[in-house]
Amino acid sequence: MSDVISTDVVIIGAGPCGLFAIFELGLLDIKCHVIDILDRAGGQCAELYPEKPIYDIPALPLVTGADLTTRLMEQAKPFKPEFHFNQMVTSLEKRGENDFHLTTDGGLEFQCKVVVIAAGGGSFQPKKPPIPGIEAYEGASVYYSVKKMEALRGKDILIIGGGDSALDWTNNLQPIAKSLTLLHRRDEFRAAPDSVGKMRALVEAGKMQLKIGQVTGLKGEGGVLAAATVKGADGASFDIACNAMLPFFGLTMKLGPVANWGLNLTENLVSVDTAKFETNVPGIFAVGDINTYAGKLKLILSGFHEAALMAQQAFRYINPGERLLFQYTTSSTNLQKKLGVA
Ligand SMILES: Cc1cc2nc3c(=O)[nH]c(=O)nc-3n(C[C@H](O)[C@H](O)[C@H](O)COP(=O)(O)OP(=O)(O)OC[C@H]3O[C@@H](n4cnc5c(N)ncnc54)[C@H](O)[C@@H]3O)c2cc1C
């Protein structure tokens, strides 16, 4: 376990609501660390619909999921948030008043005064292909995400899928692989046309192979994969030699570890009061899609409002006894200095 990271607030989830929480807390001089399972910010906007236009963000008549994420990151930048990606918060423990300890599956440990859960629909988890015995190879030869590209250098790689992740990783890993095969159940792809074009060019140049079919079994020993058996489009079976297999079958969302933190839940959502968006545990707040209350709408704009009210109460925990002045960003030189514009 590494050294404990101490901070005012830990935000669990870098979706749009977690990102706006950084801004609202920052205006009140509150420092945040943000943790997310994914390898980048944006939550559902980045993972599920980066290219789709959103039409109901106030004052932005049209913005894509990816652009909204970029704008929120820019807005949060003056407050220098520290991000920890590829980390799932697995435990959250209250050790005393305003003393919370969190750990992640990647071995990080945090201590903070306030926790903001902005975990959306919960943790994104990979959909696993229905291949008999695949569990025996997971982590040693079968990977559902790429944490370190270098670990795949010189390998015979089999990538399965037809979406953006499958095509992006095909194009990114081909230069460092010993051999690379992309397998998809048909010769049509959901991925961005540009990535599909790059992949087809690599096939044309003889630098990788594209096969059509579905994996029916795996061959190997002791977790080390030797080949995948594939049923082709014509019904005939063949083997693809590989010692690393990356199935990209999309992600599902599960509540995950949040369910074990002693919080009051209603239908798998965290109950909060609507004055502060605090849970039943003082000092733990929940904003965005993860929370529930009478009249809740699972919209991004709801999460923005919730973050603003949460920050007011977080300030009181972090600065006990200090008066909190209400200020406008348009007229407060103090706020403008924090934003770096005055
Ligand atoms: C196709 C589609 C279209 C949509 N269109 C609109 C629209 O037009 N307008 C609108 O307002 N809303 C829309 N939504 C809904 C909107 O995307 C959500 O309301 C919004 O993403 C919620 O933001 P969030 O920050 O609460 O959670 P999320 O975006 O879900 O982000 C939560 C983050 O928390 C992380 N996380 C979860 N558990 C953990 C853990 N234990 N440790 C670390 N990290 C964790 C997840 O990895 C995720 O990145 C749409 C949703 C979909 C799927």
Q: Residue 177 and residue 310: Cα distance in Å, rounded? A: 48
Has residue 331 got a pLDDT over 70?
yes
* 218 in the same domain as 74: no
Q: What burial letters (b/e) apply to 306-333, b meaning 16+ CB within 10 Å?
A: bbbbbbebbbebbeeeeeeeeeeeeebe
Mean predicted confidence (pLDDT) in 248-259: 88
Residue 122 Cβ < 6 Å to ligand 1: yes
Task: Give how many domains the chain has, as a whole number.
Answer: 2
Pairing type for strands 82-84 and 53-54 reads unpaired
Has residue 62 got a pLDDT over 80?
yes
Tell me the three state secondary structure of residue 168: helix
* 51 in the same domain as 105: yes
Contacts of 247 (CB under 8 A, 6+ apart): 126, 128, 129, 131, 142, 144, 160, 161, 215
Has residue 74 got a pLDDT over 60?
yes
Which residue CA neighbors atom 27 of ligand 1 most closely?
120
* 227 in the same domain as 146: yes
* 275 in the same domain as 205: no
Whether 301 contacts 316, CB under 8 Å = no
Closest ligand 1 atom to 258 CA: 41
| Distance from the first to the final alpha carbon of the chain | 42
From 249, 282, 315, the end of a domain falls on 249
Has residue 243 got a pLDDT over 60?
yes
Residue 65 Cβ < 6 Å to ligand 1: no
Tell me the three state secondary structure of residue 121: coil
* 139 in the same domain as 213: yes
pLDDT value of position 145: 82
pLDDT value of position 1: 47
Q: Ligand 1 centroid to 248 CA: how many Å?
A: 20
Q: Ligand 1 centroid to 124 CA: how many Å?
A: 10
pLDDT value of position 183: 98
Has residue 147 got a pLDDT over 80?
no
User: HSE (CB half, 13 Å, CA atoms) of 259?
Assistant: 9
Confidence of residue 103 (pLDDT cuts 50, 70, 90): very high
pLDDT in tens, 176-213: 999 999 999 999 999 989 999 999 999 999 999 999 99
* 234 in the same domain as 319: no
DSSP string, 23-92: HHHHHTT--EEEE-SSSSS-HHHHHT-TTSEE--BTTBSSEEHHHHHHHHHHHHGGG--EEE-S--EEEE
Q: Domain with 285 in it: what CATH number?
A: 3.50.50.60
* 301 in the same domain as 215: no
* 226 in the same domain as 155: yes
Has residue 2 got a pLDDT over 70?
no
Has residue 47 got a pLDDT over 90?
no
According to DSSP, the residues that pair with 160 across neighbouring strands are 183, 247
Confidence of residue 244 (pLDDT cuts 50, 70, 90): very high
Measured from the Cβ of residue 82, the count of other Cβ atoms closer than 10 Å reads 11
Tokens of 205: 């140049």
Least confidently predicted of 125-129, 137-141, 227-231:
125-129
Mean predicted confidence (pLDDT) in 309-316: 98
Identify the domain containing residue 324 by its residue range: 4-125+252-338
Contacts of 293 (CB under 8 A, 6+ apart): 271, 272, 273, 274
Has residue 112 got a pLDDT over 60?
yes
- This prediction's pTM: 0.80
* Secondary structure element (H or E) that encloses residue 19, with its range: helix 16-27
Mean predicted confidence (pLDDT) in 297-306: 98
pLDDT in tens, 4-40: 999 999 999 999 999 999 999 999 999 999 999 988 9
* 165 in the same domain as 97: no
* 120 in the same domain as 23: yes
Closest ligand 1 atom to 90 CA: 41
User: HSE (CB half, 13 Å, CA atoms) of 330?
Assistant: 0
Residues of the chain above pLDDT 70, percent: 99
* 111 in the same domain as 18: yes
pLDDT value of position 220: 97
Task: Find the radius of gyration of the CA atoms of the chain.
Answer: 23
Closest ligand 1 atom to 121 CA: 30
| CB-count burial class (<10 Å; 0-12, 13-18, 19+) for 294 | exposed
Over the chain, what is the mean pLDDT? 95
Has residue 306 got a pLDDT over 70?
yes
* 210 in the same domain as 115: no
Q: Ligand 1 centroid to 15 CA: how many Å?
A: 5
Mean predicted confidence (pLDDT) in 268-289: 97
From 249, 281, 308, the end of a domain falls on 249
Contacts of 163 (CB under 8 A, 6+ apart): 189, 190, 191, 248, 250
pLDDT in tens, 77-101: 999 999 999 899 999 999 999 999 9
Residue 256 Cβ < 6 Å to ligand 1: yes
From 217, 249, 281, the end of a domain falls on 249
